[in-house]
């Protein structure tokens, strides 16, 4: 019997999920190529999932825009934050407070960000055949060139949903007619070409390398030598996550169920049921937002102390509403400055934009800085170098501007948010030089 497909709600949208097995909670994510119902129609995939469920309570889901879940609007383009929302909605509805995550392919970056941002909800992480960055760079020489990515996208979209699509991702099954027919149906049901075309550029421009040192849970990195995402991508992830274990897998297929499945199944079972204890979560990856009022001293002098106090009260009420609207958390709103934290940089940027618009109705102008980094948890507060960086980034913003660090820009790549180069700066009290960008 295949498991029952149910739905979790998020913002009026429906997210398809399944639960089977007993034991520690384990979420398996497969990115764009997912359909919770059709994968059970292929024997190798069905066997793989049942083996996972033999040592865990296995949780499967289709993110919005994929498989049996509702579509997601393409304007603005979806980001990894939308996938995090879907994951959290399903975890909440099935009553999972803490789970292991097993993420394959293009779901890997989101899973790594989730593990760093929500360490209280992730007790172990396994990623397979994935990357922290697709594009080549001076400090990432084994990345893919833009031309190679364009060629890959052209071939994927040309073959998507056809029997020849198996040649790109599952070459071991290229001569298996039954598998080829199933795989073509699976692709067509998982995502439509329009959704694929919008999603893949976002995935290919994402860069989560700065996130890796903040992952505290036991981590397993699996990678096949001959998949199109070179094995050096996997090694890089393992080298930059503290204590991560790297294992090279045999084979050339992107999906794990089709070649030597018992190898990866045994490793994941060991991680989920017998791994070392996770480090205490006294650090967390967070996006910090700092803002203050431009020309506040002059404005206060012009209207007098009492009128200024009244205006500040209305100002703080306005910004608190916008922070809550974008699911942020106010940390400090003393004086005319605001310090808030968010679990995603795109939400922080959109909050900054809406705050700026809202306070202009009060005759005020803001400048804002946004940075994402590892923060120390201190009760209800957060602290650490990332907080100082965020404050210093704000100091380089002009009236009406939102300025962000390069880390933020990399994490929201493909979201539709546009940036202008704001130059390289030395941030007071912070080592090194920092490349900053202005939200256009």
Q: What percent of the chain has pLDDT over 70?
A: 95
Q: What percent of the chain has pLDDT over 90?
A: 71
C-alpha dist (Å) from residue 93 to 2, 8, 315: 20, 6, 36
Ranges 78-82, 337-341, 350-354, 392-396: which has the least confidence = 78-82
Ranges 3-17, 110-124, 190-204, 250-264: which has the least confidence = 190-204
Over residues 267-283, mean pLDDT = 71
Domain ranges for the chain, please list them.
6-274, 283-439
Best mean pLDDT range from 78-87, 231-240, 383-392: 231-240
Give me the pLDDT at residue 244, please: 97
pTM (2 decimals)?
Answer: 0.85
Does 278 have pLDDT greater than 50? no
Does 275 have pLDDT greater than 60? no
The pLDDT tens digits for 43-70 are 999 999 999 999 999 999 999 888 999 9
Give me the pLDDT at residue 360, please: 94
Ranges 29-33, 185-189, 401-405: which has the least confidence = 29-33
Give me the pLDDT at residue 279, please: 46
Over residues 72-98, mean pLDDT = 86
Does 94 have pLDDT greater than 90? yes
Over residues 86-99, mean pLDDT = 96
**Assigned CATH for 283-439:** 3.30.70.1230
Cβ distance 403 to 434 under 8 Å?
no
Give me the pLDDT at residue 27, please: 98
The pLDDT tens digits for 372-393 are 998 988 777 888 899 999 999 9
Does 412 have pLDDT greater than 80? yes
Ranges 34-43, 108-117, 231-240, 271-280: which has the least confidence = 271-280
Give me the pLDDT at residue 276, please: 44
Q: Chain-wide mean pLDDT for the chain? A: 91
Name the band, by pLDDT with cuts 50, 70 and 90, for residue 320: very high
What is the rounded CA–CA span in Å between residue 287 and residue 198? Answer: 25
In this structure, which long-range contacts are made by residues 382-389, counting pairs with CB atoms below 8 Å and at least 24 apart in sequence? 382/284, 382/286, 382/288, 382/331, 382/341, 384/283, 385/430, 386/286, 386/288, 387/288, 387/339, 388/427, 388/429, 388/430, 389/427, 389/430, 389/434
Name the band, by pLDDT with cuts 50, 70 and 90, for residue 75: low
Please identify which residue in the block is written with the tokens 């598998």.
179
82, 92, 94: which is closest to 18 by C-alpha?
94
Give me the pLDDT at residue 335, please: 75
The pLDDT tens digits for 168-213 are 999 999 999 999 999 999 999 998 776 666 666 666 778 999 999 9
Over residues 18-31, mean pLDDT = 95
Statement: 6-274 belongs to CATH 3.40.50.1820: yes
């Amino acid at each position: 019997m295949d498991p029952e497909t149910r739905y979790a709600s998020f913002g009026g949208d429906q997210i398809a999920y399944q639960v089977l097995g007993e034991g520690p909670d384990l979420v398996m994510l497969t990115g764009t190529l997912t359909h919770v119902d059709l994968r059970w129609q292929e024997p190798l995939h069905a066997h793989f999932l049942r083996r996972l469920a033999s040592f865990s309570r296995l949780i499967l889901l289709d993110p919005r825009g994929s498989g049996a879940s509702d579509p997601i609007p393409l304007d603005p383009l979806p980001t990894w934050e939308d996938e995090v929302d879907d994951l959290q909605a399903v975890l909440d509805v099935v009553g999972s407070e803490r789970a292991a995550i097993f993420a394959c392919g293009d779901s890997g970056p989101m899973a790594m960000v989730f593990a760093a941002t929500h360490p209280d909800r992730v007790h172990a992480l396994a990623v397979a055949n994935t990357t922290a960055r697709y594009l080549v760079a001076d400090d990432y020489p084994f990345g893919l060139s833009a031309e190679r990515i364009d060629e890959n996208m052209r071939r994927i979209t040309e073959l998507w949903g056809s029997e020849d699509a198996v040649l790109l991702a599952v070459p071991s099954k290229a001569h298996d007619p039954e598998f080829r027919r199933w795989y073509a149906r699976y692709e067509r049901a998982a995502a439509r070409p329009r959704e694929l075309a919008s999603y893949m550029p976002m995935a290919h421009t994402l860069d989560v390398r700065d996130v890796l040192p903040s992952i505290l849970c036991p981590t397993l990195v699996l990678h096949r030598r001959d998949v199109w995402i070179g094995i050096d991508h996997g090694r890089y992830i393992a080298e930059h996550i503290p204590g991560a274990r790297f294992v090279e897998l045999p084979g050339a297929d992107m999906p794990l169920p089709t070649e030597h499945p018992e190898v990866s199944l045994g490793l994941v079972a060991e991680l989920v049921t017998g791994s070392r204890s996770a480090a205490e979560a006294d650090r967390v990856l967070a996006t910090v937002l700092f803002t203050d009022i431009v020309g506040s001293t002059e404005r206060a002098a012009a209207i007098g102390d009492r009128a200024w106090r009244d205006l500040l009260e209305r100002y703080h009420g306005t910004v608190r509403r916008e922070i809550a609207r974008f699911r942020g958390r106010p940390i400090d709103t003393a004086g005319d400055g605001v310090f808030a934290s968010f679990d995603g940089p795109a939400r922080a940027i959109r909050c900054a934009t809406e705050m700026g618009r809202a306070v202009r109705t009060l005759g005020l102008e803001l400048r804002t800085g946004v940075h994402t980094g590892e923060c120390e948890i201190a009760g209800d507060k957060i602290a650490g170098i990332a907080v100082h960086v965020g404050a210093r980034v704000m100091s380089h913003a002009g009236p009406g501007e939102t300025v962000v660090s390069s880390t933020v820009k990399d994490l929201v790549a493909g979201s539709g948010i546009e940036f202008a180069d704001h130059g390289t700066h030395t941030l007071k009290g912070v080592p090194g030089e920092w490349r900053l960008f202005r939200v256009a």
